[in-house]
Structure 1
Amino acid sequence: MTHSTPGIRPAAVAGTFYPGSASVLAGDLRRLLDDTPAAQTTQERQEGRPKAIIAPHAGYVYSGPIAASVYAPLHALRATIRRVVLLGPTHRVAVAGLALPSASAFATPLGEVALDMAAIASIAHLPQVVVSDAAHAMEHSLEVQLPFLQTVLERFTLVPLAVGRASAAEVAEVLEALWGGDETLLVISSDLSHYLPYAIARKTDNETARHIVALDARIDHQQACGATPVNGLLLAARRHGLQARLVDLRNSGDTAGDRSRVVGYGAFAFTPVNTDVH
Structure 2
Amino acid sequence: MSEQSEEESQELQQKEEKQQQSEILQQEHKSEEQLQQIPYVHMLNNKYNVREAVHAGSWYSSKSNELKIQINCWLEQAKAEVTTVAQLKALVVPHAGYAYSGPTAAFSYKYLKKYPPSEKLKVFILGPCHYVYITQCCLTRQEIYETPLGNIKVDLETVKQLHEQGLFEQSDKDAEEEEHSIEMQLPFLAHILGTDNFTIIPIMVGSIDAKSEEYYGRLLSEYFDMDDTLFIISTDFCHWGTKFAYTYYNSADGEIFESIEKLDQKAMEHIELHDLDKFNDYLREYENNVCGKHCIAILLHCIAMSQNTHMMETKFIRYAQSCLVRDKKDSSVSYAAAITFLED
The answer, yes or no, to whether TM exceeds 0.5 is yes
1:139 & 1:22 partners in 2: Cα distance?
Answer: 21
2:50 aligns to what? 8
1:91 & 1:81 partners in 2: Cα distance?
Answer: 31
Unaligned runs of 5+ in 2: 1-31, 33-42, 242-255
> Is the aligned partner of 1:188 residue 2:256?
no
> Is the aligned partner of 1:262 residue 2:321?
no
1:174 & 1:86 partners in 2: Cα distance?
Answer: 15
Percent identity reads 28
Is contact 2:89–2:224 with CA below 8 Å preserved after alignment?
no
> Is the aligned partner of 1:150 residue 2:217?
no
Unaligned runs of 5+ in 1: none
- 1:153 partner letter: L
1:90 & 1:136 partners in 2: Cα distance?
Answer: 9
1:29 & 1:236 partners in 2: Cα distance?
Answer: 30
Is contact 1:208–1:223 with CA below 8 Å preserved after alignment?
no
CA-to-aligned-CA distance 1:59-94 (integer Å, 9 cap, x gap): 111111111001011123144351100000001111
CA RMSD of aligned residues (A): 2.1
1:229 aligns to what? 295
Task: Quote how far apart the aligned CAs of 1:253 are.
Answer: 2.5
Q: TM-score, normalised by structure 1?
A: 0.89
2:55 is paired with a residue whose SS is coil
1:61 & 1:78 partners in 2: Cα distance?
Answer: 28
2:137 aligns to what? 98
- 2:299 partner letter: L
Larger radius of gyration: 2
Which moved further from structure 2: 77-86 or 24-33?
77-86
Is contact 1:135–1:162 with CA below 8 Å preserved after alignment?
no
- Structure number with higher helix proportion: 2
> Is the aligned partner of 1:162 residue 2:182?
no
> Is the aligned partner of 1:248 residue 2:318?
yes
2:167 & 2:225 partners in 1: Cα distance?
Answer: 20
- 1:182 partner letter: D
Q: Which has the higher contact order (CA 8 A, sep 6+)?
A: 1
Is contact 2:224–2:302 with CA below 8 Å preserved after alignment?
no
1:165 is paired with a residue whose SS is coil
From the superposition, tell whether residues 246 and 35 of structure 1 become closer, same or farther in structure 2 (CA, over 3 Å). Answer: same
1:174 & 1:53 partners in 2: Cα distance?
Answer: 19
